[in-house]
Structures are given as C-alpha cells and as structure tokens.
Amino acid sequence: MTRLSSKAGVFSLVLIAALTLAGCQSAPETPEASLYQQLGERAGIAQIVEDLLFLIVDDERINQQFKGMDVASFHRNLTDQLCQLSGGPCTYSGREMREVHADMAITDTQFNALAENLILAMEDNDVPTGAQNRLLKRLIPLYPDVRHL
Ligand code: HEM
C-alpha cells in the first residue's frame, strides 16, 4: 500500500514536470509577443483604452484637458500606440507626443492620474500585474515629451 502510494507520488511528479515543460514550450518565444498577448492583442488593448476613456471623463484631475477632443481618433491612435509599444503588429500613425501635448501644461499630478487610470483599466481587463508594469515601463520614456521638459 505504501509502495503503491509512493509510486503514485513519483508518477505525479513526472506528470507535473512534463506538463511544466510542455507549458514552457508552448509559451511565446519573445517577451514582446507575450506582452502584446497578455494585453489581449489589439481587441484587448482597444477595450482597455475604451475603459480608460470612461475613467478619464470621471476624473476631475484631468477631464478638463480632454474637453472637445476627437474621441474616435484618440481611441484609435492610443490603441495603435499601445499595440505597437507592446510588440504587436500595429503602426502608430498619430501625431508626435511632443506636438500633441504642447500647450497643455501637464503637471506631474495629471501625468500620474492618467497612469493610475490606465492601471485601473488594465485591472478591469484582468491584465496580470507583471504585464501592467512592463507596459508602464515602455511609457516612461515618453514622459519628457508629454510633460514638455
Ligand atoms: C505616457 C503618457 C501619455 C501617452 C502615451 C499619451 C498618448 C496620447 C496619444 C496617442 C494621443 C492621440 C494623438 C493623436 O490623436 O494624434 C494623445 C492625445 C491627447 N492627450 Fe495624451 N498621452 C499621455 C499623457 C497625457 C496626459 C497626462 C494628458 C493630460 C492629463 C494627456 C492629454 C491628451 C489630450 C487632451 C489629447 C487630445 C489632443 C487632441 O486631440 O488635440 N495625455 N495622447
């Protein structure tokens, strides 16, 4: 009886090892592809940006800045930008970051508010925390252009 259960134990270990290896093999090869996939590809990113727009409208710290903008074009351009930045097969065709955000006098508080809303939108779409952080890391280099520093 003891021998039988120890055999079963060894079998379980081998099975777990095999499944783990199989899991590794089927994982995407490049980190770029995996971040894009973790965001839910273009459709998932489009949903995140849509949720972000609702959060922006409700956020008193930044909603004034967005008054009167072309919502459809903002949605398309930000979706393409995040898709491209995450390694997806998209090409951002919107305006330069420095040009778009000129004359907005964006403060650190406003920059952080937008980042916070993006995190909330990713949470709502079940994006794993590691993937959230990887996307934020790729947005950080845009900070000086958005803030006009
Ligand atoms: C890393 C941070 C940011 C990124 C990646 C980003 C990205 C973008 C993109 C892709 C567009 C659309 C450009 C186009 O349609 O040609 C845009 C537009 C805009 N952004 Fe940002 N943005 C950032 C931060 C901010 C912040 C902090 C604010 C203000 C609180 C802001 C306010 C706006 C506004 C008002 C527009 C619309 C401009 C217009 O249509 O004339 N952005 N942004």
Q: How far is the CA of 139 from the centre of ligand 1 (A)?
A: 12
Q: Mind spelling out the 3-state secondary structure of 89-129? A: CCCCCCCCHHHHCCCCCCCHHHHHHHHHHHHHHHHHCCCCH
Asked whether residue 3 is domain-assigned, the answer is: no
Asked whether residue 125 is domain-assigned, the answer is: yes
Q: How far is the CA of 132 from the centre of ligand 1 (A)?
A: 19
Asked whether residue 90 is domain-assigned, the answer is: yes
End-to-end CA distance of the chain: 73
110, HSE (Cβ side, Cα atoms, 13 Å): 14
Asked whether residue 22 is domain-assigned, the answer is: no
Q: Dump pLDDT digits (tens) for 69-92.
A: 999 999 999 999 999 999 999 999
Residue 93 CB less than 6 A away from ligand 1: no
Asked whether residue 26 is domain-assigned, the answer is: no
Residue 111 CB less than 6 A away from ligand 1: yes
Q: Is the pLDDT of residue 48 over 50?
A: yes
CATH number at residue 87: 1.10.490.10
The pTM is what?
0.83
Task: Tell me the C-alpha distance between 122 and 120, whole Å.
Answer: 5
Of 62 and 32, the one with more pLDDT: 62
Assign 6 a pLDDT band (cuts: 50, 70, 90): very low
Task: Please choose from 64, 70, 74, 122 the residue to mutate so as to test ligand 1's pocket, defined by most ligand atoms within 8 A of CB.
Answer: 74
Number of domains in the chain: 1
Residue 70 CB less than 6 A away from ligand 1: yes
Asked whether residue 25 is domain-assigned, the answer is: no
Its domain, for residue 108, covers 31-147
Task: Tell me the C-alpha distance between 38 and 36, whole Å.
Answer: 6
Asked whether residue 73 is domain-assigned, the answer is: yes
Q: From the alpha carbon of 110, which atom of ligand 1 is closest?
A: 30
Of 143 and 23, the one with more pLDDT: 143
1, HSE (Cβ side, Cα atoms, 13 Å): 0
Of 25 and 139, the one with more pLDDT: 139
Asked whether residue 10 is domain-assigned, the answer is: no
Report the share of the chain in percent with pLDDT over 70. 78
Assign 61 a pLDDT band (cuts: 50, 70, 90): very high
